[in-house]
Amino acid sequence: MLWALILLPMIFAFFILVGTNMLNEDHSILKLFSFLLGIVSFWASLNMAFIMVVSEYTIPAAEKLLGQLTYLTGWLFFIYVSYFAIYIIKTVFHGINSKKEQRLKY
């Protein structure tokens, strides 16, 4: 039963990611947030696995591995979100500059 609890968020994330890939480009914001929700579901599954290992089996090596994996994926998520934030800011400023240049041409 505990393994089913661990796998449920992973299965949920899989279906979200598959469904997100079927959307067209008109829903780019929804695609981005769905992808982020898939990552959060992965963390929920990882957290449940960590709790199960600590409470049931007390395997120090597995505890350390799950802790390191959570730390690493947390940093990767931070880098991913930072990249998109910088990209959005760059796109907004590029749009503002292009409108300003078009206005100066006339």
**Span 33-62, average pLDDT:** 77
Output the CA–CA distances (angstroms, integers) from residue 6 to 37, 45, 69, 90, in the order listed. Answer: 16, 5, 15, 39
For the stretch 80-93, pLDDT in tens is 788 888 988 998 89
pTM: 0.55
Where do we find the tokens 């990611």?
Answer: 17
**Mean pLDDT of the chain, nearest integer:** 79
Output the CA–CA distances (angstroms, integers) from residue 53 to 5, 8, 62, 74, in the order listed. Answer: 13, 17, 7, 20
**Span 6-12, average pLDDT:** 77
**Span 75-103, average pLDDT:** 84
Question: Alpha-carbon distance 36 to 41, whole Å?
Answer: 9
Q: Could you give the number of structural domains in the chain?
A: 1
Could you tell me the residue range of the domain that residue 38 belongs to?
2-105
